[in-house]
Amino acid sequence: MIKIAVLETQNVNKNFSGLQALKNVSVTLKKQQIIGLIGPNGSGKSTLFNLITNVISQDEETTGNILFEGKIINDQKMHLLAREGLVRTFQVTQIFPKLTVLENMLIASQFHPGENLKKVLVDVFRKLLHKSTWEEEELTFAKKAMEILDFLEISHLAKEKAEVLSGGQRKLLALGRALMTSGKVILLDEPVAGVNPVLSNRIFEKIDQLRKESTTFFIVEHNMDVIMESSDHVFVLSKGEIIADGSPKEIQENPNVLDAYLGDEGE
């Protein structure tokens, strides 16, 4: 079966006042694949995600194109991208600690960074305070949120404040929030950093299950075991450049990849 490209970067460059964070980065993500993005600290992984999802806007220090489903999306706002099915999570998990797990999920379905948070929060709270006035749409969201929490096996925590969650459970909630948006392509920045091995494996099992259904994943992760086991294809960034890409096996056998990591350690 031929898998078509859903997300593509073409010769993307990004400078931060003289520091070249990305150099001619071209990556292609095919539909229903899990694509790993690895590389030493500071190699540009989060910057690439930030550019793709327009967290960093394109400026005079940016060149190249980003295409989603064949369309150039260089300047498209993050919340509009999310609506079209391109969503992400952040390296530092963004949750609202004083809200319940379920409320965190509901907000995700209506709020995407880049929109007016206060306005959205006021709106969501009004609805939460007057549950009897929930409209069909909100009930649908609540049902969907509970289904996702069930799938992630944290539905028993739905009514707990998010602040009581462990680091691993917060990562699951972050994934859950991304799933609320029904993303076609989901970018995960270190989804299992600081998560115990049992929970890490569970998160990756869920990711694999969703991929089989329809989703494409682009995943930054320092945990080599999970990334090598789960990915269909891996890109390696070093000092802003893609220095290798291929199957996990090819990457593991590529001496340049080892050099990139050892060089980083030695500096």
Residue ranges that bind ligand ATP, judged by CB under 6 A: 16, 19, 21, 39, 41-47, 91
47 contact, one of ligand ATP, Mg ion, none, CB 5-8 Å limit per kind: ligand ATP
**CB-wise, 90 or 134, nearer to ligand ATP?**
90
33 contact, one of ligand ATP, Mg ion, none, CB 5-8 Å limit per kind: none
Q: What are phi and psi of 73, to 5 degrees?
A: -125, 25
**CB-wise, 123 or 241, nearer to ligand ATP?**
241
Asked whether 248 and 221 are in contact (CB, 8 A), the reply is no
250/255 Cα distance (integer angstroms): 10
44 contact, one of Mg ion, ligand ATP, none, CB 5-8 Å limit per kind: ligand ATP
Q: Which residue has the tokens 């929930």?
A: 134
Q: Which residue has the tokens 């005079």?
A: 60
With residue 87 as reference, give the H or E element that holds it: strand 86-88
Residues that bind Mg ion (CB under 5 A): 45-46, 91
The distance of closest approach from Cβ of residue 86 to ligand ATP in the complex, given in angstroms and rounded to an integer, is 18
244 contact, one of ligand ATP, Mg ion, none, CB 5-8 Å limit per kind: none
Is 85 strand, coil or helix? coil
Task: Sort 120 into a burial class: Cβ within 10 Å, 0-12 / 13-18 / 19+.
Answer: middle
CA distances from 40 to 90, 106, 108, 197 (A): 18, 35, 31, 21
155 contact, one of ligand ATP, Mg ion, none, CB 5-8 Å limit per kind: none
**CB-wise, 70 or 167, nearer to ligand ATP?**
167
The distance of closest approach from Cβ of residue 49 to Mg ion in the complex, given in angstroms and rounded to an integer, is 8
**CB-wise, 56 or 154, nearer to ligand ATP?**
56
21 contact, one of ligand ATP, Mg ion, none, CB 5-8 Å limit per kind: ligand ATP
**CB-wise, 39 or 168, nearer to Mg ion?**
39
Report the 10 Å Cβ neighbour count for 212.
9
**CB-wise, 96 or 261, nearer to ligand ATP?**
261
242/262 Cα distance (integer angstroms): 16
Residue type, 105: M
The distance of closest approach from Cβ of residue 264 to ligand ATP in the complex, given in angstroms and rounded to an integer, is 10
The distance of closest approach from Cβ of residue 81 to Mg ion in the complex, given in angstroms and rounded to an integer, is 19
Taking the alpha carbons of 144, 145, 149, 154 in that order, is the dihedral positive or negative?
negative
**CB-wise, 38 or 73, nearer to Mg ion?**
38
64 contact, one of Mg ion, ligand ATP, none, CB 5-8 Å limit per kind: none
175/27 Cα distance (integer angstroms): 23
User: Two tokens at 26?
Assistant: 């071209």
